[in-house]
Amino acid sequence: MRHTVPIAIAIAVFVLSACATAPPLPGFGVEVSLKLSSAGRQVCIAGKNFTPDTSVQTGYIDIPGASTLSPAQTVTASHAGDFNVVDVTTGYGACTLEQQGKDVLVFAKDMSNGNVAIGKLPARLWCQNVIQVVPVDSRCP
């Protein structure tokens, strides 16, 4: 099956990663997960092997009903180059069936060298017209 990427997403990913100045460290990347709590949806972003002690910008690409590129938080990677972000998000309204079937890209950009790591979550998790059954994920702090 052939997969296509909407042009807005392709442009957003290009803009995020266009200025990378060095290759990423081995094991560089993010794991994303989600849990529901009384505060709302908690998106958990765990980064590994980013540049130690430097800023990391996190955010989302293609949340249904939001702008193509939605920033979340900026954090500082640890001395080991790791970080954990818990971002409480809310729904953005009703989603079409097409939107429910897509993914939201969750990114983390190493601000010292421009490298970007991307994870995915189902877009339906942001849709207020979809009943959410999400298990608690132990990776969230």
| CATH (domain of 58) | 2.60.40
User: Would 129 be classed as within a structural domain?
Assistant: no
SS3 43: strand
Q: Is the pTM of this model over 0.75?
A: yes
Distance from C-alpha of 84 to C-alpha of 18, rounded to nearest angstrom: 24
Percent of the chain whose pLDDT exceeds 90: 33
**DSSP E strand stretches across the chain:** 29-37, 40-48, 55-61, 69-76, 83-89, 103-110, 116-122
Residue 3 has pLDDT above 60, yes or no: no
Percent of the chain whose pLDDT exceeds 70: 70
Residue 46 has pLDDT above 90, yes or no: yes
Backbone phi, psi, residue 36, to 5°: -100, 140
Number of compact structural domains in the chain? 1
- Confidence band (pLDDT; 50, 70, 90) for 57? very high
Q: Is-contact 106 62, C-beta < 8 A? A: no
Which has more pLDDT, 15 or 87?
87
User: Would 132 be classed as within a structural domain?
Assistant: no
What residue numbers bound the domain in which 111 lies?
7-90+106-119
CB atoms within 10 A of CB 1: 2
Task: Give the pair of three-digit tokens for residue 70.
Answer: 């939605």
- Confidence band (pLDDT; 50, 70, 90) for 18? low
User: Would 84 be classed as within a structural domain?
Assistant: yes
SS3 29: strand
User: Would 28 be classed as within a structural domain?
Assistant: yes
Distance from C-alpha of 76 to C-alpha of 130, rounded to nearest angstrom: 34
- Give tens-digit pLDDT for 67-116: 666 777 899 999 999 999 988 766 667 888 888 889 989 999 999 999 99
Mean pLDDT, rounded, for 112-127: 90
Burial letters for 10-41: b for 16+ Cβ neighbours within 10 Å, e otherwise? Answer: eebbeebeeeeeeebbeebbbebbbbeeeeeb
